[in-house]
Amino acid sequence: MVKGFSDNEVKNDAVIKESKKEKKGLAAFLKGKKFTYTLPGKKQINIFGSIVLSLNLILILLVILYLKNQEFREFLFNVGR
């Protein structure tokens, strides 16, 4: 027995073609527009990397401060009310 599609299948190509023609909403708006993606430069990569690393470092310091300092924990509890 051969694997694959049989000859007796119902073909629904007409339904698929009709749905491709009807573009609505954002797809219709962007139909004629062409967008190109450019990779970020080395300077931009360094800036974003520095921001991410510094925010992670601040988060780690705040977690350590929360776990070690009871006054800071109470301050956050009161601010969160």
pLDDT tens for each residue of 49-80: 999 999 999 999 999 999 999 999 999 999 98
Angstrom distance (rounded) from CA 59 to CA 52: 11
Q: What is the pLDDT of residue 9?
A: 58
- Give the pTM: 0.52
> What rounded mean pLDDT belongs to the chain?
80
Angstrom distance (rounded) from CA 68 to CA 1: 71
